[in-house]
């Protein structure tokens, strides 16, 4: 299968996947990777104050702390306004993974990234 000259890089990956892999398994991974790449680019435009505003609306204190720590970690910068959440994190206060997962997705995290980020929470 050959691609037209005006095909975008993403479409080229899709055409390659369709030509080289069975059952479309890799096709979905490529599409998910592209969505995640777009999310990472757009999420870096969210300011510290905007992240903080979204996080402060989370009603469950333990989930709020966990999510704040994940967001801080994912956007590794010096965010002094997040220091109170980092200081409040305790290994003994473990949130329900599903609550953290749903909250991350509510904040815009793609499902696959949210699942990976929640895996670090010990039961």
**pLDDT, mean of residues 23-41:** 63
Query: How much is the pLDDT for 23?
Result: 52
CA atoms of 3 and 11, how far apart (whole Å): 8
Q: What pLDDT does 71 receive?
A: 87
Confidence grade of residue 2 (pLDDT, cut at 50, 70, 90): very low
Check pLDDT > 50 for residue 115. Answer: yes
Predicted local confidence at residue 16, as pLDDT: 60
Whether the predicted model's global pTM rises above the 0.85 cut:
no
Contacts of 84 (CB under 8 A, 6+ apart): none
| Interatomic CA distance for residues 92 and 100, integer angstroms | 16
Is a pLDDT exceeding 90 seen at residue 20?
A: no
């Amino acid at each position: 299968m050959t691609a037209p000259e005006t095909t975008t890089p993403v479409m080229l990956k899709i055409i390659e996947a369709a030509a080289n892999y069975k059952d479309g398994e890799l096709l979905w991974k490529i599409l998910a990777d592209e969505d995640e790449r777009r999310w990472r680019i757009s999420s870096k435009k969210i300011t510290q104050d905007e992240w903080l505003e979204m996080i402060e609306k989370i009603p469950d204190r333990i989930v709020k702390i966990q999510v704040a720590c994940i967001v801080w970690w994912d956007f590794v910068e010096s965010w002094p306004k997040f220091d109170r959440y980092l200081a409040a994190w305790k290994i003994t206060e473990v949130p329900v993974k599903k609550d953290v997962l749903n909250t991350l997705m509510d904040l815009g995290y793609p499902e696959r990234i949210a699942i990976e980020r929640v895996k670090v929470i010990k039961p």
